[in-house]
Amino acid sequence: GNKNINAKLVLLGDVGAGKSSLVLRFVKGQFVEFQESTIGAAFFSQTLAVKDATVKFEIWDTAGQERYHSLAPMYYRGAAAAIIVYDITNQASFDRAKKWVQELHAQGNPNMVVALAGNKADLVDARKVEAEEAQIYAQDNGIFFMETSAKAATNVNDIFYEIAKRLPRV
């Protein structure tokens, strides 16, 4: 039958990568050019129906600033899923994303479904990180990868949908 799943999900990644914008797109279907910086963390929830289940995501959108790093474990601990976000036009944000992947592997729940999102895919002319490089990195690290655009609404529902499909059915 159809299962109801509650899933805590955390967004991690550099300041400005587009974490809040992805959440705003997913939860409200909106985008703003001048998204305010997140302070501490913000909470949202959204329900998504997949074939065999209805998943209620309890979403923690973290700030990303280094000075909040020590708070991050409060958000990823016990999380069923994480989306690690970088900006395809910013190499440093990709390097930072890799650090998050390593941290989750070291400290996170081993069954966590982890997605890597190369965001701002609409800004192809300013691209600094090749999709192929990120795809190979994701594959090597047992996580899945998608390029997204919160602005163009590309792959935003899809990445949450893909996570929902991969969550353990208990």
Tell me which residue has tokens 């703003």: 32
CA gap 28, 102 in Å, rounded: 31
CA gap 64, 48 in Å, rounded: 26
Count the residues in the chain: 170
Q: Name which of 35 and 54 has its Cβ closer to ligand GDP.
A: 35
Q: Name which of 20 and 155 has its Cβ closer to Mg ion.
A: 20
Return the residue of 5, 7, 9, 20 that touches Mg ion, per CB under 5 A: 20
Interhelix angle 156-166/19-28, rounded to 10 degrees, is 80
Q: Name which of 120 and 167 has its Cβ closer to ligand GDP.
A: 120
Q: Name the binder of 17 from Mg ion, ligand GDP, none, CB < 5-8 A by kind.
A: ligand GDP
Cβ of residue 67: shortest distance to Mg ion, in angstroms?
14
CA gap 23, 132 in Å, rounded: 25
Nearest to 17 by CA among 80, 74, 92, 100: 92
Cβ of residue 44: shortest distance to Mg ion, in angstroms?
12
Our finding on whether 148 is near Mg ion (CB under 5 A) is no
Q: Name the binder of 150 from ligand GDP, Mg ion, none, CB < 5-8 A by kind.
A: ligand GDP
